[in-house]
A and B are shown apart, each in its own frame.
Chain A
Amino acid sequence: MCPPARDGTTEDEPVTDAYSDRGNKDRSIANPRDGASMSSSLKGEATPSTETAFLAGIDMTGGYGRGADILHACTVSVDPGEIAVIVGPNGAGKSTAMKAVFGMLDLREGRVVLDGQDISRLSPQDRVAAGMGFVPQVRNIFTSLTVEENLEMGAFLRRDDIRPTMEQVYDLFPILRDKRRQPAGELSGGQRQQVAVGRALMTRPKVLMLDEPTAGVSPIVMDELFDRIIEVSRTGIPILMVEQNARQALEIADRGYVLVQGRNAFTGTGRELLADPEVRKSFLGG
């Protein structure tokens, strides 16, 4: 069952001892909060495109547990057929924003809307069931399970035939078909990221969230992964992703968000941001 769960990619998760792999210190995602109560107040002054977006985290303010706020009125959104990219310096709160959209931390203010429904009070599991797929930045595969078992676990909530979806994932990432009987922990960095994305696709999500899908892979593999992500996006699935490689990411972004210290510093289409001298100077190295 259990070669160690650590998979060597735990860059922003300090490992203290064996017992610390109880998971992160986020609000327990094991305690589903029931019922999607519709929030009625629509006070936010968000731009129209955000208000009506398929998936939107609007004016999100909050942090981990009882700690200080990390996000300050942060807003991100994405529509079908689009790729929305969040960039920003290390520690800006990009991953935190993703977790907030996925319900893994308590929001003090703001809300999350999916397909016109306020889902702010849904547990992460319920959000999976509602059609959201999430690939976390770290520990995003089951290292001791085979590639195929990883995909099966991605489809755990489904009761119908998952073979066709699995074939689609294998068509998207052909290398995974060859390696399907191998423990996922034995694969290279790029292949692991493919497993992680494949696992999330197995639920046939209505929206896909990727936190640094190209972290730690070579430039060639990175281009390859971007191509695959664009391919997924072409099938109509909206993609919200965080990227370290800001320039490349913004080139394929329909929407771009520059996050600084938990706040939206710049927002626009990817092309607008790439052209913005301020953004170029501060975040793209001139």
Chain B
Amino acid sequence: MLNALVALMNFVVIPATAYGAQLALGALGVTLIYGILRFSNFAHGDTMAFGTMVTILLTWALQAAGVSLGPLPTALIAMPVGILGAAALLLLTDRFVYRFYRAQRAAPVILVIVSMGVMFVYNGLTRFVIGVDDQRFADGERFILSANAFRDWSGLDEGLALRTTQAITIVTAIIVVAALFWFLNRTRTGKSMRAFSDNEDLALLSGISPERVVMVTWLLVAALATIAGTLYGLDKTFKPFTYFQLLLPIFAAAIVGGLGSPIGAIAGGFIIAFAEVAITYPLRKILSYLLPEAWEPAGLVQLLATEYKFAVSFIILIVVLLIRPTGLFKGKAV
């Protein structure tokens, strides 16, 4: 029984929580853009890739120079610069691409297509600089709690491991989300962003400057995307194509939670992550501890092969769109 619980923690709960935090941060970026700029930004995955790439390049330079954070990954020092890099890229894109369409009050569909074009440009840029292959940049202590250490300490058959990157992901996500909500709910600029998102015309009649709101939005998005991307890269590996693929679970998270709703983005991130991990994980081991020997399942009890993990996001997305198009937290209808 305890063994089942530990196995569940080890193989489902902890990985899904870390992954959920990464998706939530990604979905927050998507939802902010949707709330303020009113379009679904297909370039978001590649924005994450770009910010992460800048972080990685600096991390390598720091590692070469012998700088280190001890047990923590060096990438944490490099991340602020990655954020600045992503911010510069986003602001330049806004200045030369999105602003043009905004001035014409272009329909959101047009902006979505434009963002796809931007996506291809970012995509090429990242591949051109760092290549298409897997890159490893994690360093420092690998485990906070290793499976063997846990087994020795508890006397159970099952081990429980907590990787440093998982812990860092969860802690960072909590800090970032708390800071974001403080900003949106307590500061004048944050409130003006919410007001703009709520009722653009009235915001203008109140003297809120749209260009400033848009600029602050891109800055926040740069930070969220780079942090999400770096945490994901530390936890798994960095490969530009994977970041493009992340678009689906991230959009699913944002839409499931309700586009435009930050709380929804967080909830959506965890829903998608838990569903994906639980459905693609072979539950046999956990069941074998719970059921009498005679009932022990013959197969792996894996509901879907890992290759199909994106199908999970997709199915959840479709179901939510059919049943509750505004998402769980009443965002704007898609």
Residues of A within 8 A of B (CB): 1-5, 17-19, 21-24, 28-31, 124-125, 128-129, 134, 136, 139-145, 149, 152-154, 156-157, 199, 203
Contacts and interface: CB of A to CB of B under 8 A. Distances in A.
Given A19-B108, A128-B206, A1 B333 contact: no
Contacts of B262: 1
Contact of A156 (B32, B35, B192): B192
B330 to A, nearest CB: 5
B210 A30 contact: yes
B200 A2 contact: no
A154 B194 CA distance: 13
Contact of A153 (B192, B330, B332): B192
Contacts, number: 114
Given A1-B198, A5-B332, A144-B198, A19 B326 contact: no
Contacts of A144: 194, 198
B202 A142 contact: yes
Given A18-B334, A22-B105, A153-B195, A2 B261 contact: yes
B142 interface: no
Contacts of A21: 38, 200, 332
Given A28-B105, A142-B195, A153-B208, A136 B201 contact: yes
Contact of A4 (B188, B204, B206, B333): B333
Contact of A1 (B193, B200, B201): B193
B184 A1 contact: yes
Nearest to A25: B105
A149 B205 contact: no
A203 B108 CA distance: 33
B203 interface: yes
A23 B332 contact: no
Interface residues of B, number: 39
B195 A29 contact: no
Contact of B205 (A2, A4, A18, A136): A136
B199 A143 contact: yes
A19 B37 CA distance: 11
A52 B126 CA distance: 64
Interface string B85-119: 00000000000000000110101110000000000
B191 interface: yes
B202 A31 contact: no
A3 B184 contact: no
Given A145-B191, A149-B191, A152-B188, A1 B202 contact: no
Nearest to A148: B191
Main secondary structure of the interface of B (DSSP, over half): helix
A9 to B, nearest CB: 12
11 contacts: A2-B260, A3-B330, A4-B330, A125-B204, A128-B205, A129-B207, A139-B202, A141-B199, A143-B198, A153-B191, A156-B206
A149 B195 contact: yes
A142 B330 contact: no
Interface centre among A1, A18, A22, A140 (most CB of B within 10 A): A1
Given A18-B332, A22-B105, 4 more contacts: A5-B197, A19-B109, A22-B108, A142-B203
Interface centre among A28, A29, A30 (most CB of B within 10 A): A30
Contact of B194 (A4, A23, A139, A145): A145
A1 B107 CA distance: 22
A144 B197 CA distance: 9
Interface string B6-39: 0000000000000000000000000010010010
B233 interface: no
A128 B194 contact: no
Nearest to A157: B207
Contacts of B210: 30
A2 B35 contact: yes
Contacts of A152: 188, 191
A219 B103 CA distance: 43
B38 A142 contact: no
Given A19-B38, A139-B201, A139-B202, A4 B326 contact: yes
B217 to A, nearest CB: 11
B269 interface: no
A157 B326 CA distance: 33
B206 A23 contact: no
B240 interface: no
